[in-house]
Structure 1
Amino acid sequence: MDRVIISREQQIKDAAIRVFSKKGFNGATTKEIAREAGVAEGTIFRYFRTKKDILLSLAGPYIVESLKTTLINAAGKSDEAVLTSIIKNRLELIKENIDLARLLFTEAQFHPELRENFTENVVMRAAGVLEKYIDERISSGDFKAVDPRIASRALIGMVGAFVLWKEFLLGDKYISFDEDELIKQLVDIYLTGIRAEEWEGGMGS
């Protein structure tokens, strides 16, 4: 029974991405999403209260849960390895879900309530996961005593700038970056700025 419920919910989400991508958030209706998913419209409301809830549900698990999993898998490794895993995960996540990313980026500009919900329930939660990691490294003396909230958003901003360049501005037409080298240099730049001056190797070295 659980397998059927999970499958049906995912079926609706997959259909929603296709419909939202074609018609935008305003233009899409739950009736069209139901038709695309091959279910009755009433079935949608067994899983989601509103169309907005469908859109928000698409982003949360991908962005927040995958970040938690990445940090768990990287536990005990060097900061270089941890940050490399985080950045690689974020870039792969965007590539695998580029239609959803473009949809959220576009619709958030025109729907303040959607933007606020996305910021509160997805962005702030993801930033909180990074803040915890950074705070732990500060407590261990490996990172400078900076504000973890600022440091987490600095990392998000570095990665976000290159996602914007490649996926939204199509910047590869002008300058193309090797992804492995990009990740390596972003990690180096970030750690150069945040590591404690007396750092001598730290975790996993």
Structure 2
Amino acid sequence: MSRKETILEAATALFARKGFSSTPTSTIAREAGVAEGLVFHYFKSKKGILLCILEDVVERYLSGCRARFENCPTGLDAVKALIGFHFEFGSENTDALLVLIRDVPSSFSRNSAPPDQDTAYGIHRIICIWEECIDRGRRDGSLSHDLSPRETAFVIQGMLIGISRLKFMTSLEASCLSTQATEFCLRALRPRKKNEQTISKQENGKGYNK
């Protein structure tokens, strides 16, 4: 492990335990076993460390999503794999995700520098993987043809992020969330049977006439 990686690992653990604002760079340096000047050499500022944590998480999450997606034969299989990966990634990166959920929003306010374009582009690429997933399912028949890939991608990823926030910020017992989230999405995304489509159209018609 390089000294930069050692500093990043120490900072992530300290931010998770004490909070970003309560962790001085001197403590990070001491925990990493390096001179404080080396922290600034690699990261320029404490916010630079936070941004690097964000970039690292986004890139590793993106890489994992892409690998799972490419190994799935159908869109339906990809939905299952991506949701499973999301919760697996969360359980393996609890410190980093806690820091991002709790500290990034308050540290990058409207009046301060936002996360850089590379990170924003990484998040966009995650949404694009979900779009590809939904589009594949529409084409292979495993998912409903009525779905809008882009809108559905945002809804699913937003739901997963929301569940993760709820898990980290409350005492919610989340041992079965992966299974429940998968089942919920599959019920919403699978092609409807003809009788279900007829009922839905009738209900929509009644609502419109009212």
What's 1:186 paired with?
184
SS at match of 1:47: helix
Counterpart of 1:97 in structure 2 is: 93
Percent of paired sites with the same residue: 25
**3-state DSSP of counterpart to 2:21:** helix
- Can you list the C-alpha shifts for 1:145-169, whole angstroms capped at 9, x where unaligned? 7554322211112223332343322
Alignment RMSD: 3.2
Tell me the amino acid that sits aligned with residue 61 of structure 2.
S
Scaled by the length of structure 2, the TM-score of the pair is: 0.70
1:145–1:107 distance in 2 versus 1, CA, 3 Å: same
Query: Partner letter of residue 153 of structure 1?
Result: F
Could you tell me how far apart the structure 1 residues matched to 2:154 and 2:101 are?
17
Deviations 1:110-148 (A, max 9, x none): 231679417735533432443344456567786647554
Larger Rg: 2
Query: Structure 1: which 4+ aligned runs deviate by more than 6 Å?
Result: 139-142
- Give me the whole-angstrom Cα distance separating, in 1, the residues matched to 2:59 and 2:144: 23
Distance of aligned partners of 1:140 and 1:33 in 2 relative to their CA distance in 1, 3 Å threshold: same
Correspondences of 1:35-184 after superposition (within 5 Å): 35-75=30-70, 76-111=72-107, 112=109, 116-117=114-115, 120=120, 123-135=123-135, 144=145, 147-172=148-173, 178-179=176-177, 181-184=179-182
Q: Contact conserved, 1:67 with 1:89, CA < 8 A, in 2?
A: no
2:74–2:140 Cα contact (<8 Å) kept: no
> Paired residues, what number?
188
C-alpha deviation, 1:18, in angstroms: 2.3
Flag the 1:135–1:23 CA change in 2: closer, same or farther, 3 A. same
What is the distance in 1 between the residues matched to 2:79 and 2:132? 14
The TM-score with structure 1 as length reference comes to 0.72
Cα offset, 1:100, TM superposition: 2.2
Query: How far is 1:189 from its partner?
Result: 2.8
- What is the DSSP-based 3-state SS (H/G/I as helix, E as strand, rest coil) of the residue aligned with 1:171? coil
**CA displacement 1:57-98 (0-9 Å, x = unmatched):** 223333333333333344252222211111111111112222
Show structure 1 runs of 5+ residues with no match.
1-5, 199-205
Q: For 1:121 and 1:46, locate their aligned partners in 2 and report how far apart those are by CA, in whole Å.
A: 26
Report if aligned partners of 2:75, 2:136 keep a CA contact under 8 Å in 1: no
What is the SS of the residue equivalent to 1:34? helix
- Counterpart CA distance in 2 for 1:180 and 1:51 is 34
Distance in 2 (alpha carbons) for counterparts of 1:104 and 1:155 = 19
